[in-house]
Amino acid sequence: MSTSWPLWEVFVRGKRGLNHVHVGSLHAPDAEMALRNARDVYTRRNEGVSIWVVPAAAITASSPDEKDPFFAPAGDKVYRHPTFYSIPEDVPHL
Amino acid sequence: MSFDNAYESLLGHEDSHWAFGTGFSDALVGVNREFPAGVDKADLAKYCLMLGDDALIFSQRLSEWCSRAPELEEDIALANIALDLLGQARMLLTRAGEVLDRDEDALAYLRDEREFRNVHLAEIDCGPGPGGDFGTTIARLLVFSSWRLALFSRLRGSADPVLAAVAAKGLKELAYHRDHAAQWTVRLGDGTDESHRRMQAGLERVWPFVDELFATHAVEARLAGVAVDPASLRSEVDGVLEAVLSAAGLTRPADTRAARVAGMAGRDGVHTEAMGYLLAEMQHLHRSLPGAVW
């Protein structure tokens, strides 16, 4: 039975969080049960107010082999941060 | 069980250092624990034992699935449900204990079989023992949670403020238990030939114990306004079960009724053979090592 249930990735939005954050994965026979399993496995300590589940097979991931061409070129381009603007104090979560 | 709130020992009064899992609350804080005027306290204690023992004993049964469920995720789901029910049991036994001058541990671990007031449905073996399987357990959970959800929905209006608060808290838990059972009932009933056969067999196993859920006990009759008359829940619960069974392609078993002893059953302290074995396992540690704590 274990081998036949597909894998799902679980994203939870915490009470104090703004975004859904990846918290782990689980097995479930379908999306509805995946959502319920995620509730039972990942929110039993009052962690969340919203859950997403995504079939793991639906995720296209970058490869570790491509790490340098993908990410290294951004390493020395500090000017891409908007540090030259003044940020109003009453704008949260910018 | 020595903390009023299980999180006190972990958190103290400050939980802001936790990124996740904060904001725990105790549903019974600030609830008036005075006994309402005109209520027979002995009857109130018996009623709290009935509802508390239902939850305690079923919780014990569900916990038997720990490490034995078909999947790790289901293992945790059943354990969560068991813990929800254990929490309900603790509040109800504590309330009974305020009348009886015994604490929740004494009531859970030091009463004998004849003093327990739970319905038979909670105590019978529905698996993982030889009395059933996962389908049987789901059948019991479906019936039990549908019934208790309807009961707690009315109990919110109880004249006893503690019972009303326990019901208001338990309602959300039971709604999830029923949903979990319904989800599985539909998947097993509408799944393969084998899963359908076993789900139907599970229903046949638990159905003789359904009738007892709706039998009005003398204590419940005397506590009008405090207790819920279970007979008044029948049509609502039947409607829910019909809807789930119909979506699952399952057949409602014929109404049969498990045997009683001189008209008595669980609410009178008369139990099935399974109860003694269950209590032996549940109470063994506490009786061997009185006062043992984690």
Question: Is B215 a member of any domain?
Answer: yes
Strands (E) across B1-139 are located at none
Maximal CA-CA distance, chain B: 59
Helices (H) and strands (E) in chain A, counts: 2, 3
Of B19, B23, B187, the CB nearest to A29: B187
**Whose structure tokens read 């005075």?**
B34
**Amino acid residing at B178:** R
**Amino acid residing at B69:** A
How many angstroms separate the CA atoms of B133 and B167, rounded? 30
Residues A62, A47 contacting (CB under 8 angstroms): no
Residue A83 phi, psi dihedral angles, 5° rounding = -80, -5
Residues B153, B106 contacting (CB under 8 angstroms): no
Cα-only R_g, chain B: 19
Count of A-B CB contacts under 8 Å: 45
Residues B104, B94 contacting (CB under 8 angstroms): yes
Per-residue pLDDT for B4 more than 70?
A: no
- Tokens describing residue A54: 């995504």
Per-residue pLDDT for A1 more than 70?
A: no
Half-sphere exposure of A38 (CA within 13 A, CB side): 28
- Which tens digits make up the pLDDT trace of A32-77? 999 999 999 999 888 888 999 999 999 999 998 988 888 888 888 8
How does residue B26 score in pLDDT terms, banded at 50, 70 and 90?
A: confident
- Tokens describing residue A31: 């999306």
Contacts of B23 in chain A (CB under 8 A): 15, 46
pLDDT of residue B207: 97
State mean pLDDT over A12-17.
Answer: 81
Contacts of B176 in chain A (CB under 8 A): 39
The closest alpha carbon to A10, from A46, A44, A37, A49, belongs to: A37
Q: How far is Cα of residue B277 from the mean position of the Cα atoms in its chain?
A: 18
Interface check B183 vs A, CB under 8 A = yes
Question: Is B33 a member of any domain?
Answer: no
How does residue B291 score in pLDDT terms, banded at 50, 70 and 90?
A: confident
Which residues does B141 contact at the CB level (< 8 Å), separation at least 6? Answer: B62, B81, B177, B180, B181
When divided into structural domains, chain B yields a total of 1
Interface check B23 vs A, CB under 8 A = yes
Q: Which domains does chain A have, with CATH numbers?
A: 2-60 (3.10.20.520)
Of A29, A44, A47, the CB nearest to B80: A44
Residues A8, A24 contacting (CB under 8 angstroms): no
Q: Which of A71-85, B125-139, B230-244 has the lowest mean pLDDT?
A: A71-85
Nearest CA in chain A to B80: A40
Domain with B242 in it: 38-288
Contacts of A27 in chain B (CB under 8 A): 71-73
- Tokens describing residue B84: 């929800």
Long-range contacts of B260-265 (CB under 8 A, 24+ apart): B265/B119, B265/B120, B265/B212, B265/B215
Interface contact B21-A36, CB threshold 8 A? no
**ipTM value for the complex:** 0.77
- Collapsing DSSP to helix, strand or coil, B261 comes out as strand
- Which tens digits make up the pLDDT trace of A71-93? 888 888 877 877 777 778 887 77
Question: Is B283 a member of any domain?
Answer: yes
Which of B10, B11, B18, B20 to mutate against chain A (most A CBs within 10 Å)? B20
Long-range contacts of A55-60 (CB under 8 A, 24+ apart): A55/A6, A55/A7, A55/A8, A55/A9, A55/A31, A56/A6, A56/A7, A56/A8, A56/A9, A56/A25, A57/A6, A57/A7, A59/A9
Question: Is B20 a member of any domain?
Answer: no
Interface contact B22-A26, CB threshold 8 A? no
**Whose structure tokens read 């105590």?**
B123
- Tokens describing residue B177: 């238990």
- Tokens describing residue B11: 């958190």
Measured CB to CB, residues of chain A less than 8 Å from chain B are: 1-2, 5, 14-16, 26-29, 32-33, 36-37, 39-41, 44-48
Of B71, B179, B180, the CB nearest to A1: B71
Question: Is B4 a member of any domain?
Answer: no
Contacts of A39 in chain B (CB under 8 A): 176
The closest alpha carbon to B80, from A36, A92, A20, A93, belongs to: A36
CATH of the domain at B99: 1.20.1260.10
Interface contact B73-A26, CB threshold 8 A? yes
Question: Is B30 a member of any domain?
Answer: no
Question: Is B260 a member of any domain?
Answer: yes
Nearest CA in chain B to A43: B21
Interface check B179 vs A, CB under 8 A = yes
Interface contact A36-B180, CB threshold 8 A? yes
